[in-house]
């Protein structure tokens, strides 16, 4: 491990970047996408720890490949692989891992646990998902929007984004993006499943909470959804299916969006519940470009935190 930076930088929420920093990171991610696997290796000899309490496909693989292509190495740690699973204090694990590793990428349940790790680790800590926020996914989503509508789509104003479904960590991160970039955001959530009210208030008049999916999608360029029951909410699945009845992004709902609208879903998808098979496989779906872009934005993020240009 290299010597720790004098003042390390974490990425726990999207708003850990300011507007200019976010746009610069997305621009750099687009450059990494063009460079592919043969680009520079700014993380040569660096070790990245992936501390995951939640199962993962895209997040784990994209961070592992990002570290490899940047010249670094990743070490995957689940609860059964560490003493965290046997009750070791979080602060002890964080301090020890930071003595071995150059950064910690953490995927956990409570956001407070992530913040505690960041307080005690002397190396950068990255939020790979908590119950409150999923900022790395939002980076990929924003890059996908920029690819489909032009590099200045996030800056020129007029972009309208719709969210349909649970006011979950993804909805919260879209609210943070709205506050930073100023695009229009309408969130259709059933009663009792609203996003964080503080984040909604911070987004100001650009974000609006509605109950009707059709109202949210009307005239939108970007239509988003996610599973109705996230990891850790399996016991609520039946209750949530009743609450979210009618909140499916299908061909009929999508007809109310703009003709050039794209559909995003962070995956995994429950086809036939929150999204129809025809939409996710249809011409407006950007879902698999969105998934690929996880790799490119995370390369830009790791470079920013560990080897700023």
- The one catalytic residue in 137, 221, 290, 298 is 137
| Segment holding 164, helix H or strand E | strand 160-164
- The one catalytic residue in 13, 58, 111, 294 is 294
- Is 226 an active-site residue? yes
- The one catalytic residue in 60, 226, 265, 298 is 226
- Is 265 an active-site residue? no
- The one catalytic residue in 28, 60, 107, 186 is 107
- Is 131 an active-site residue? no
- Is 45 an active-site residue? no
Distance, in Å, from the CA atom of 140 to the CA atom of 154, rounded to the nearest integer, reads 13
Which neighbouring-strand residues pair with 184?
A: 160
Distance, in Å, from the CA atom of 78 to the CA atom of 151, rounded to the nearest integer, reads 38
Residues 200-236, buried b or exposed e (16+ Cβ, 10 A)? beebeebbebeeebbebbbebbbbbbbbbbbeeeeee
Tell which residue, 127, 128, 138, has the closest CA to residue 59.
Answer: 128
- Is 141 an active-site residue? no
C-alpha distances out from residue 50 to 24, 64, 128, Å: 25, 8, 9
Tell which residue, 130, 105, 131, 129, has the closest CA to residue 118.
Answer: 105
Which neighbouring-strand residues pair with 160?
A: 184
Distance, in Å, from the CA atom of 22 to the CA atom of 42, rounded to the nearest integer, reads 20
Do the beta carbons of residue 74 and residue 19 sit within 8 Å?
no
- The one catalytic residue in 28, 134, 186, 296 is 134
- Is 294 an active-site residue? yes
- The one catalytic residue in 266, 290, 296, 298 is 266
List the structure tokens of 293.
């872009």
Catalytic residues: 107, 134, 137, 226, 266, 294
């Amino acid at each position: 491990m290299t010597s720790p930076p004098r003042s390390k930088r974490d990425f726990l929420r999207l708003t850990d970047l300011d507007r200019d920093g976010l746009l610069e990171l997305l621009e750099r991610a687009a450059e990494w996408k063009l460079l592919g696997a043969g680009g520079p290796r700014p993380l040569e000899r660096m070790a990245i720890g992936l501390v995951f309490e939640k199962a993962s496909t895209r997040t784990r693989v994209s961070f592992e490949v990002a570290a490899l292509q940047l010249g670094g190495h990743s070490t995957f740690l689940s609860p059964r692989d560490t003493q965290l699973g046997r009750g070791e204090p979080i602060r002890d694990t964080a301090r020890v891992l930071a003595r071995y590793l150059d950064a910690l990428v953490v995927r956990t349940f409570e956001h407070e646990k992530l913040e505690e790790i960041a307080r005690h680790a002397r190396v950068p800590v990255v939020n790979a998902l908590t119950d409150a926020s999923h900022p790395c996914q939002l980076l990929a989503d924003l890059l996908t929007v920029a690819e489909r509508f032009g590099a200045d789509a996030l800056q020129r104003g007029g972009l309208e984004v719709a969210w349909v479904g649970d006011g979950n960590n993804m909805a919260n991160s879209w609210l943070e993006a709205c506050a930073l970039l100023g695009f229009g955001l309408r969130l259709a959530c059933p009663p009792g499943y609203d996003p964080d009210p503080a984040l909604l208030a911070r987004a100001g008049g650009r974000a609006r909470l509605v109950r009707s999916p059709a109202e949210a999608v009307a005239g939108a360029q970007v239509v988003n959804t996610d599973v109705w029951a996230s990891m850790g909410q399996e016991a609520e699945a039946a209750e949530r299916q009743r609450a979210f009845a009618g909140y499916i992004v299908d061909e009929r709902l999508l007809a109310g969006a703009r003709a050039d609208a794209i559909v995003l879903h962070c995956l995994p998808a429950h086809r036939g519940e929150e999204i129809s098979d025809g939409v996710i496989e249809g011409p407006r779906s950007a879902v698999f470009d969105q998934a690929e872009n996880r790799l490119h934005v995370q390369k830009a993020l790791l470079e920013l935190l560990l080897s700023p240009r």
